[in-house]
Amino acid sequence: MNAQTKPLSVPMFTELRRLLPGFMLCGVIAITAAFVSEHYGGPKFLYALLIGIAFHFLSDNDKCIPGIEFSAKKLVRLGVALLGARIAISDVSDLGLAGVGALAGATVLTIGFGMFMARVLGLPSMLGLISGGATGICGISAAMAISATLPQTKENEHYTLLTAIGVATFSTAAMILYPLVVSAGGLSVGEAGMFLGGSIHDVAQVVGAAFMISPAVGDAATLAKMFRVAMLVPVVMVLALSFRAESARTAGGGAKRAPLLPFFLVAFAALVVINSFGWIPAEVVAVSSDVSRWCLVISIAALGVKTSFEKLAALGWKPIVLLSSETLFIALYMLAIVFLTRLLSA
């Protein structure tokens, strides 16, 4: 009996022991970030990033490396997949054809604008793609999902981390400033929900800004934001297929081909469909949302550990201009949509 069970149990526990030190490091950083966020305010993602960077000296520790890599590259996929349990297809019909078109346009145009601005500023197109996707879809979650489909290089990791820092910063600023824009513009409940849900990067900041105004605006903004989160599926699908075709051309016919679609994307879409039929209880949705959030916080902490301030500083001031211009672009786009819709309905 021992001879039969040993080959099965020993490798499993060996792998767990190999991953545990680095995973525990990232987990403790995530818990610390959550504690600071809950007691002193501010986005936990940003705290996880900055605290993680402070522990960069452990990124070369042989005991920590496997768990850090697992947290940065594997755990994020589970977190993104579980986001699907929060979305239902019925949400799309509630927005109406005009709302769907406006929000889809915001996503596509912001990604295109990001890549255009990256070229203008002389930055890598990958940075424009990741930052544009993060700004146009759902912030840090989108940045990490898009990054998971790209070639896994040190440069792309730096771009993802830089985008995460910028998105967290600008999203927090938007949460504070955009309710003032709603008030100054005299936006109605529906208009305010479309503007806030269509322009603020992260879900948490959308909810914070919208419920600052009223529960009705909060519901409308959350609905618009959930559609933007759902846009993650077609965007990542297109990117996965594009990079799969590119890698097949460059690697040659004998190389191992990547899967047609990433498993986490398939799981995301499956959960959306299952939730649309009402087969996922509200309690399970709540638990999956919490697990997803923790997976993403731990993953972003791992990215922080892997990156130093010196490497970020070496990228210069241009990424700041890139991210700020993307934030301004999507905000002006959504305001234009809101006022154009008001003009046409008058």
Residue-wise pLDDT for 123-171, tens only, equals: 999 999 999 999 999 888 889 889 888 877 778 888 888 898 888 888 8
Identity at 196, one-letter amino acid code = L
Look up residue 254 and give its DSSP letter. T
Confidence band for 247, pLDDT divided at 50, 70 and 90: low
pLDDT in tens, 53-78: 899 899 889 999 999 989 988 887 88
For residue 35, how many other CB atoms are within 10 A of its CB? 12
213-217, 249-253, 282-286, 299-303: least confidently modelled range: 249-253
What mean pLDDT is predicted for residues 267-293?
A: 89
Instruction: Judge whether 140 and 83 are in contact, CB under 8 Å.
Output: no
Instruction: Judge whether 181 and 205 are in contact, CB under 8 Å.
Output: no
Question: Directed axis angle between helix 203-213 and helix 154-185, to 10°?
Answer: 10
Confidence band for 175, pLDDT divided at 50, 70 and 90: confident
Instruction: Judge whether 319 and 162 are in contact, CB under 8 Å.
Output: yes
- Residue 255 is predicted with a pLDDT of 44
Identity at 183, one-letter amino acid code = S
Place of tokens 């504690």: 35
What mean pLDDT is predicted for residues 9-14?
A: 71
For residues 296-333, one letter each, b for 16 or more C-beta atoms within 10 angstroms of the residue's C-beta and e for the rest, the string is bbbbbbbbbbbbeeebeeebeeebeebbebbbebbbeb
Nearest to 134 by CA among 147, 120, 153: 147
Nearest to 240 by CA among 141, 160, 149, 128: 149
Instruction: Judge whether 192 and 345 are in contact, CB under 8 Å.
Output: no
- Residue 67 is predicted with a pLDDT of 95
Beta strands in the chain (DSSP E): none
pLDDT exceeds 80 at position 265: no
Determine the longest span between alpha carbons in the chain, in angstroms.
80
pLDDT exceeds 70 at position 86: yes
Give this prediction's pTM. 0.76
112-116, 182-186, 216-220: least confidently modelled range: 216-220
- Residue 206 is predicted with a pLDDT of 87
Q: Reduced to 3 DSSP states, what percent helix, strand and coil does the chain have, rounded to the nearest 5?
A: 85, 0, 15
Q: What is the mean pLDDT of the chain?
A: 85
- Residue 8 is predicted with a pLDDT of 47
- Residue 84 is predicted with a pLDDT of 81
141 compared with 321, residue with greater pLDDT: 321
